[in-house]
């Protein structure tokens, strides 16, 4: 279970540069996943063997300066609610500003680790100038230059030291936990209503004001002889704090739920389509390698002709390519149409995600395919794949052992992934293919 660290501060202090530095260091090694990362404001990082999720709140603020102030307050409040630790970034060049003081005022009341980070300190003179940030009343500060990374090591040492450890109970609970299905999506898509319809009781208050559920709530559920936890991610919070269009809100809410689930049921409102925010949540689930089922809700409100479903489905698959092997179920929570079909599909996806394939069977199926379609030669060198095995990870990952792994390019890896999907059915599950030196 990884902790969440939020980076807050006013615009242009260097939050994104710092964020990219932390993420890329790791993505370059770990996250060579097919398809570009669509959402630049969320990523995973680790330091001294401790993994954490990083959220750059700056990427979510859009609008003019006067809107900024209100938005930034909201984001800081959200970050305070959701994150396990907060990095508050300020800029030595501009000194303490009124907006910095506003943010500091919110952060002084917080019972979580807050790290005041003075950016753009790249010489001795600037290090002296940083002293004025003591006036923010947040105690000690760290000086860094996110452009070249100086000072980040000390900050990260202190950060991972302060992140809460997993308690023994949590660790034990994780071991014998039931499968978790998280119901995610943007506000007002019908997530709580979907869960109510399944459970047949109004466990959640359902209103059509966005954001009336606070904290994810787990419900044990048994269907088709299969027991699992349903996690609702909507969350009750003070109405004043939520602006319906606050994209950051949905993403922040979904991060935790997605990280700790096995399958994501992504509910979208058919009348709004598969918009940018829904796509963000989709790619978040894909990058965390979770099973995914897309539920198109309010289908009863769409004017239909014979082709409507097919066209809508084709449009979604176009948006999510190259990972198109995902089930799409058209539902109407109001009329209880196909809601059990949705759960049945999620159970299948869960089973696909936890599937183990015998090494002998894997080689019997894959090696002849590779022999018929070998990887293209590179610089007159021939790549020979000798052996394949599934790695012992919670989701499907496969290692192909060969003589020259560095010469196998993305298109061929995608070919192998597609063949694995075709032969072994990994419908709804991201599959990772790694090349290893034999």
Binding annotation: 9-16, 56-60, 119-122, 185-192, 232-236, 297-300
Token pair, residue 27, equals 């993505």
* Residues annotated in a binding site for GTP: 9-16, 56-60, 119-122, 185-192, 232-236, 297-300
Residues 6+ apart with CB under 8 A from 300: 332, 334, 335, 337
Q: How many CB atoms lie within 10 A of CB 214?
A: 13
Separation between Cα atoms, residue 431 and residue 414, nearest integer Å: 10
Q: Are 364 and 332 in contact (CB under 8 A)?
A: no
322 upstream amide cis, omega within 30 of 0: yes
Torsions phi, psi for 245 (to 5 deg) = -90, 10
Partners of 3 in beta bridges: 52
Separation between Cα atoms, residue 225 and residue 267, nearest integer Å: 24
Separation between Cα atoms, residue 287 and residue 31, nearest integer Å: 8
CA 144 to chain centre: 27
Measured at the alpha carbon of residue 110, what is the angle toward residues 106 and 112, in degrees to the nearest 5?
135
3-state secondary structure of 260: coil
* H helix or E strand, kind and range, residue 88: strand 85-91
Separation between Cα atoms, residue 299 and residue 413, nearest integer Å: 36
- Cα-Cα-Cα-Cα dihedral sign, residues 190, 195, 199, 204: negative
Token pair, residue 401, equals 């052992």
């Amino acid at each position: 279970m990884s902790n969440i660290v939020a980076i807050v501060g006013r615009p242009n202090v260097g939050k994104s540069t710092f964020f990219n530095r932390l993420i890329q260091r790791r993505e370059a090694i770990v996250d060579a996943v097919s398809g570009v990362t669509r959402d630049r404001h969320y990523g995973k990082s680790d330091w001294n063997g401790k993994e954490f999720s990083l959220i750059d709140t700056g990427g979510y603020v859009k609008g003019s300066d006067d809107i900024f102030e209100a938005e930034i307050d909201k984001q800081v409040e959200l970050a305070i609610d959701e994150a396990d630790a907060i990095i508050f970034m300020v800029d030595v060049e501009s000194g303490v500003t009124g907006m910095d003081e506003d943010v500091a005022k919110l952060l002084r009341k917080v019972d979580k680790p807050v790290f005041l980070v003075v950016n753009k300190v790249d010489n001795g003179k600037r290090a002296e100038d940083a002293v004025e940030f003591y006036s923010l009343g947040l105690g000690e500060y760290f000086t860094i230059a996110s452009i070249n990374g100086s000072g980040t090591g000390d900050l990260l040492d202190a950060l991972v030291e302060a992140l809460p450890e997993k308690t023994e109970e949590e660790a034990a609970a994780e071991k014998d936990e039931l499968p978790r299905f998280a119901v995610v999506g943007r506000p007002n898509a019908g997530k709580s209503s979907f869960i109510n319809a399944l459970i047949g009781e109004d466990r959640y208050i359902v209103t059509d004001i966005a954001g009336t559920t606070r904290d994810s709530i787990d419900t044990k559920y048994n269907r088709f002889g299969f027991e699992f936890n349903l996690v609702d991610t909507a969350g009750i919070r003070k109405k004043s704090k939520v602006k319906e269009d606050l994209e950051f809100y949905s993403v922040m809410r979904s991060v935790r739920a997605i990280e700790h689930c096995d399958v994501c049921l992504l509910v979208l409102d058919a009348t709004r389509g598969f918009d940018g925010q829904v796509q963000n949540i989709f790619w978040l689930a894909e990058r965390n390698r979770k099973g995914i089922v897309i539920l198109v809700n309010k289908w009863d409100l769409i004017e239909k002709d014979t082709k409507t479903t097919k066209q809508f489905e084709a449009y979604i698959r176009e948006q999510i390519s190259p990972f198109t092997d995902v089930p799409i179920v058209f539902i109407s929570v109001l009329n209880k149409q196909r809601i059990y079909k949705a759960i049945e599909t999620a159970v299948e996806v869960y089973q696909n995600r936890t599937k183990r394939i015998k090494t002998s069977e894997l080689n019997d199926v894959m090696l002849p395919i590779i022999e018929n379609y070998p990887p293209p030669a590179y610089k007159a060198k021939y790549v020979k794949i000798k052996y394949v095995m599934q790695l012992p990870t919670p989701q499907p990952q496969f290692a192909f052992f060969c003589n020259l792994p560095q010469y196998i390019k993305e298109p061929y890896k995608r070919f192998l992934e597609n063949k694995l999907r075709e032969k072994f059915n990994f419908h709804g599950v991201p599959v990772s293919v790694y090349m290893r030196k034999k």
